[in-house]
Structures are given as structure tokens and as C-alpha cells.
């Protein structure tokens, strides 16, 4: 930084709001000084007039008027900064010089008033102009003191004037250097502010166009920021996100997953299901507007923001709608499966029938326990492969459902009786809770296959205690009927949940990996949705741990509107 700084051109200074504010402060100080001088005149007016200084009051009053004019001009006419500054400084120097002469020169003590305009020049003008003004003041003080010495009014006045001049030069130099440093810091701050503004604009652009949802939250689940993708995934309305995850019923699965991550940061990924929001209870407008479609299956990844030393904690939640990814993976598998369907029907099914028939004949002729056990293994695997072939063929048929309403309570009661008899279960193992008179749109044959598939999985892992398997019919969000199928067995891990409905994915050695996929396809074929969601217990257990379990949820299509209502619409 050169010695000419503030070293800014006049036009550059005119565009700096800081310089205009400083000039306004200088004008306010000028008004205060003029008022102080007038107050001094009112206190010692007799002495001043007795000394022949009759025009002292007129000068102070004129100075006050000029100070007011300069203040208004600086406030309303912010052009030609350097010209206004030097005009005001010249007026200050002339007024103080008149008062200095009238008050008796250096002995009056008014020389200290020169420090006010000179300091203002050192702050707001280049160093050359500040030193020039200081030189004029010093020459004036030395000249006036020399004249008084010639008039035999004192022999020490020249020395005093010289000391004043040296002090003014030192003060102007120090003030100018300090102002230069502050101006440099301000310019650096402006430059950094521009860089930060550009970076923020880039961040906003990236967050607005990225496909993944992004939420910034604190340890209490308070949301501070989010991008449009997160609003769309979560069904949020409005340009700003100012809510707490745990306060919104729809977002409680995400809030619970976030709390679990805070308790154990090693598990940074979770899968949550966001359902459509319920309307406002009072019928009025709600702040929360849920998704109009079915539930969304999201993958949530959590990351902590490095805020060491800042006195606050923030975390970022990355959301990804994996429904489309799951569907894409299923379509890829279906594409290859479709090419194999025709050959499977002829090349696999017929040999399987021959193997099964031969196994049955051998079983009639063999008596050895070892041979019978080996034949049973062959028969079981033939049945498993044959069941897989049947599932594949059923997927390729795409049977259209019937559109007649189905009385769900009666259907589930009959299905429960049949299921208990088939598996030899006591009547209290499978608990059914359904509201009488509930009608849904679902093909009865398709729904039978879906529910039986889910119950067969449940009976495999349930404890067998009373009500260890539960069928519950509830009214879900957005007035959709939901059928919950839950057991008291261990829940499905998030890793398995990510691939639960993919074809040919199974964790059992006896499964085909097509049961749940077929169940979901049948639901979609009936405009319904099958999903697996986690359910957290309302209170912690005896060991203080709040346990979670899972359940399958069938969300039925909205009931068809009555003809009269449809016609009215």
C-alpha cells in the first residue's frame, strides 16, 4: 500500500458509502463545535467585547449556519466527494483562523481547533492533501506569531506555534496511516464478502437443482434450511423450512432415525417411509401440505458439520427417493425374466414333472430310510423350482382385477379361519381388528394371495404367543384404508429392507425371492401400495431402550365417489 493511500480516485470515493458516512459524522462534529463556541461566547461575552473582539459572535453564528448547510448537502447531494470535502475543510480553516486572530493568537489556546479539520482531512483525503493543509496551518501560525513578536507582544509565541505545527504534522501522519490500514481492511472485507456472496449463490444454485434432498438440522431436529428436492420428497410447502421434525406426525420416522443416528453415529444410513399428510383437524388451512400421492420410500444419510469453536452444532440429512431406483432394478430383472418365461414353460416345467413323477415311483419301491430321505430332498427341491416357475408365469399373465367393492371385514374373517385351520394355529395367535362395513377396491383373489403371502412370512418368525400375529385395519392418512400385518418376531434390518421387494432376493434357503415382489405387483395392479415401515414403541422397555419393530402396510386405493356426488361435481 503506497503512501498516497487512502489513494482512491475521486470517483471511487464518491461510490463508497463509508466515506459519505464519515463525512456526515464530520459535519455533525462541526455543528457541535460551533455550538460550543457560541456557548463560550455567552459565558464570557463581556470580556470578549471589552477586548475589542466584537465580531466573535457573528463569526461563530455564521460558522454554525455553514455547518448546517454542509450537513444537508452531504446528506442529499452525494456527488463530487473530494470537492465537497476540501470546500468544507477550507471553510473550517478560515473560520478557525479568524477566531484565532480575534482571540489573541497562540496564547488563546484556540490553535487546538485546527486538529479537527486536519484529522478529518487525514482520514478522508489522500496524504498529500492532508500534509498540504497541515503546511498551510503551520505557516499561518508561524507568520501570525512572527508578526506578534515584531510588535513586541511576546518572545515565546514563535516557539509555541512551531510546537503546534510539529504536533499537527505528527497527528496527521499517524491518523492517515491508521485510516489507510482500516480502509485496506474494509476493502479486503468487501472482497471477501463478494467471494462469499458468489459462493452462496453457487450453493443455492446447486441445492436448488440437485436431485437429492438436503436438510440442515440441529441436534433437536429443528430444520434451518432445505432445498426444493427435500420439500418435494417430504411434502413441505413454502419457500422456508422452519419446523421441528418431531413435531410433524408425517416426519416422525425421519426424526426417530435421526435420533438413532445421534445415539450411534456408526449407522449413518436409514430407510424411512413418508406417508401423505392428514388434513387439518379444524378443516382450515394447514402449514403442512402432504404429498398427494402414495407413501415415499426414502434413503436418509446423516453427516455432522464440522463446527468446532463456533458454539453451535449442525447436521446435514441427505434424502434420496429410492422408489424409482427399486422400480428400475425390478424392471431390469423383469426384462431378463420375460425373455426366459417362454423357455421355462417348456424346457423346465416338463422335466420337473418327470423328475417329480419318477421320485414318487421310487418312493413306493424303496424301504431304506436313507433312500427315502434323499428322495424327500429331491421332491422338496422339485416343488421349490416348480413354485418359482409358477410365480414367474403368473407375473407374465398380468391378470386384470375386478372392480367390484370388497367387504374387507368379512373377507379377512374368512381368511383368518382358513389360515388357522391350514396351519393348525390356535384361534388367539392371529388377532384380527377390522371395522364392520369397510369397503375397498381390490380384487378378492389378488388380495387373498397378497395377505396369505404376508401371513406365511409372519408365522415363520412369530413366537406363537396369543396375538403374536396381528391384522389391523385402520384409516390412514389422506383417508386411505390401511391393512397392517405385524408379528412379534425380529424386525427386518435396514440392509435387507433396501432389497425387500426386489425379485429373486431372499434371505431364506427355502424361498424363491418372488413372493413379496409378486404381492407388491398385485397391489399396484389394484391401484394400491404395499410397503414395509418401521414402528417405534411409545415407551422404552425395562432396560431403558426404546425398541422398534416392523410391519407390512397395504394402502388401498381411495373408494370410488358416489354417483350423485360425482354428478354434482
pLDDT digits (tens, 9 = 90+) for 478-534: 567 888 998 888 777 777 777 777 777 776 666 666 778 888 888 887 888 888 877
pLDDT of residue 399: 53
Burial class (CB in 10 A: 0-12, 13-18, 19+), 103: middle
Please name the helix (run of DSSP H) or strand (run of DSSP E) that holds residue 480, with its range, or none.
Answer: none
Evaluate whether 522 touches 453 at the Cβ level (below 8 Å): no
pLDDT of residue 9: 40
Least confident of 102-106, 391-395, 547-551: 391-395
Evaluate whether 322 touches 297 at the Cβ level (below 8 Å): yes
Better-predicted residue by pLDDT, 54 or 123: 123
Dig out the grid coordinates for 115 from the structure. Answer: 486538529
pLDDT of residue 512: 63
Distance CA 556, CA 480 (A): 6
pLDDT of residue 397: 56
Predicted confidence band at 264 (pLDDT cuts at 50, 70, 90)? confident
Burial class (CB in 10 A: 0-12, 13-18, 19+), 283: exposed
pLDDT of residue 3: 41
Predicted confidence band at 47 (pLDDT cuts at 50, 70, 90)? very low
Average pLDDT value over all residues in the chain = 75
Predicted confidence band at 225 (pLDDT cuts at 50, 70, 90)? confident
Residues 6+ apart with CB under 8 A from 437: 407, 409
Predicted confidence band at 242 (pLDDT cuts at 50, 70, 90)? confident
State the SS3 of 44-108. Answer: CHHHHHHCCCCCHHHHHHHHHHHHHHHHHHHHHCCCCHHHHHHHHHHHHHHHHHHHHHHCCHHHH
pLDDT digits (tens, 9 = 90+) for 120-141: 888 888 888 888 888 888 888 8
Least confident of 212-221, 314-323, 331-340, 526-535: 331-340
pLDDT of residue 10: 41
Better-predicted residue by pLDDT, 176 or 292: 176
Least confident of 251-265, 344-358, 539-553: 539-553
Q: 103 by DSSP, 3-state: which?
A: coil
pLDDT of residue 204: 76
Burial class (CB in 10 A: 0-12, 13-18, 19+), 201: exposed
Evaluate whether 471 touches 454 at the Cβ level (below 8 Å): no
What share of the chain has pLDDT > 90, as a percent? 0
Least confident of 55-64, 354-363, 385-394, 424-433: 385-394
Distance CA 372, CA 467 (A): 38
Q: Quickly list H helices, 398-436.
A: 408-423
Task: Give the pTM.
Answer: 0.46
pLDDT of residue 7: 40
pLDDT of residue 284: 38
Amino acid at each position: 500500500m503506497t503512501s498516497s493511500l487512502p489513494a482512491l480516485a475521486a470517483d471511487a470515493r464518491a461510490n463508497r458509502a463509508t466515506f459519505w458516512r464519515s463525512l456526515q459524522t464530520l459535519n455533525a462534529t462541526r455543528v457541535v463545535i460551533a455550538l460550543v463556541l457560541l456557548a463560550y461566547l455567552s459565558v464570557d461575552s463581556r470580556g470578549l467585547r471589552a477586548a475589542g473582539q466584537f465580531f466573535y459572535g457573528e463569526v461563530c453564528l455564521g460558522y454554525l449556519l455553514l455547518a448546517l448547510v454542509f450537513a444537508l448537502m452531504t446528506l442529499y447531494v452525494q456527488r463530487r466527494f473530494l470537492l465537497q470535502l476540501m470546500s468544507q475543510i477550507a471553510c473550517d480553516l478560515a473560520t478557525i483562523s479568524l477566531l484565532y486572530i480575534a482571540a489573541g493568537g497562540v496564547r488563546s489556546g484556540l490553535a487546538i481547533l485546527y486538529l479537527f479539520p486536519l484529522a478529518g482531512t487525514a482520514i478522508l483525503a489522500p496524504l498529500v492533501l492532508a500534509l498540504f493543509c497541515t503546511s498551510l496551518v503551520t505557516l499561518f501560525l508561524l507568520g501570525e506569531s512572527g508578526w506578534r513578536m515584531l510588535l513586541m507582544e511576546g518572545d515565546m509565541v514563535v516557539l509555541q506555534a512551531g510546537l503546534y505545527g510539529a504536533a499537527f504534522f505528527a497527528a496527521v501522519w499517524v491518523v492517515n496511516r491508521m485510516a489507510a490500514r482500516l480502509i485496506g481492511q474494509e476493502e479486503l472485507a468487501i472482497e471477501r464478502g463478494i467471494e462469499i456472496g458468489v459462493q452462496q449463490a453457487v450453493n443455492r444454485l446447486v441445492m436448488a437443482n440437485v436431485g437429492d434432498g438436503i436438510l440442515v438440522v440441529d441436534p433437536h431436529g429443528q430444520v434451518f434450511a432445505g432445498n426444493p428436492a427435500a420439500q418435494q420428497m417430504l411434502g413441505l410447502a413454502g419457500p422456508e423450512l422452519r419446523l421441528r421434525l418431531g413435531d410433524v406426525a408425517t416426519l416422525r420416522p425421519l426424526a426417530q432415525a435421526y435420533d438413532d443416528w445421534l445415539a450411534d453415529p456408526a449407522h449413518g444410513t436409514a430407510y424411512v417411509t413418508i406417508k401423505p399428510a392428514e388434513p387439518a383437524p379444524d378443516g382450515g388451512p394447514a402449514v403442512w401440505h402432504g404429498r398427494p400421492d402414495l407413501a415415499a420410500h426414502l434413503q436418509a444419510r446423516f453427516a455432522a458439520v464440522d463446527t468446532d469453536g463456533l458454539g453451535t452444532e449442525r447436521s446435514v440429512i441427505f434424502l434420496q427417493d429410492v422408489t424409482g431406483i427399486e422400480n428400475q432394478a425390478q424392471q431390469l430383472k423383469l426384462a431378463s425374466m420375460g425373455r426366459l418365461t417362454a423357455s421355462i414353460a417348456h424346457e423346465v416345467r416338463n422335466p420337473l414333472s418327470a423328475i417329480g413323477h419318477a421320485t414318487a415311483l421310487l418312493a413306493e419301491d424303496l424301504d431304506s430310510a436313507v433312500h427315502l430321505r434323499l428322495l424327500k430332498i429331491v421332491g422338496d427341491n422339485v416343488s421349490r423350482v416348480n413354485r418359482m416357475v409358477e410365480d414367474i408365469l403368473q407375473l407374465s399373465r398380468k391378470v386384470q382385477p375386478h372392480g367390484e367393492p370388497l367387504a374387507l371385514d368379512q373377507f379377512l374373517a374368512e381368511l383368518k379361519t382358513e389360515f388357522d385351520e391350514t396351519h393348525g394355529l390356535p384361534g388367539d395367535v392371529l388377532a384380527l381388528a377390522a371395522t364392520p362395513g369397510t369397503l375397498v377396491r381390490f380384487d378378492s383373489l389378488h388380495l387373498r394371495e397378497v395377505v396369505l403371502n404376508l401371513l406365511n412370512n409372519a408365522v415363520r418368525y412369530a413366537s406363537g404367543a396369543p396375538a403374536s400375529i396381528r391384522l389391523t385395519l385402520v384409516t390412514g392418512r389422506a383417508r386411505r384404508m390401511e391393512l397392517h400385518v405385524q408379528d412379534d418376531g425380529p424386525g427386518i434390518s435396514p440392509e435387507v429392507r433396501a432389497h425387500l421387494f426386489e425379485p429373486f432376493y431372499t434371505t431364506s434357503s427355502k424361498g424363491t425371492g418372488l413372493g413379496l415382489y409378486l404381492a407388491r405387483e398385485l397391489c399396484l395392479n389394484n391401484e394400491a401400495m404395499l410397503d414395509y415401515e418401521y414402528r417405534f414403541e411409545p415407551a422404552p422397555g425395562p432396560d431403558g431402550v426404546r425398541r422398534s419393530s416392523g410391519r407390512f402396510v397395504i394402502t388401498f386405493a381411495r373408494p370410488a365417489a358416489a354417483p350423485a356426488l360425482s354428478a354434482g361435481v
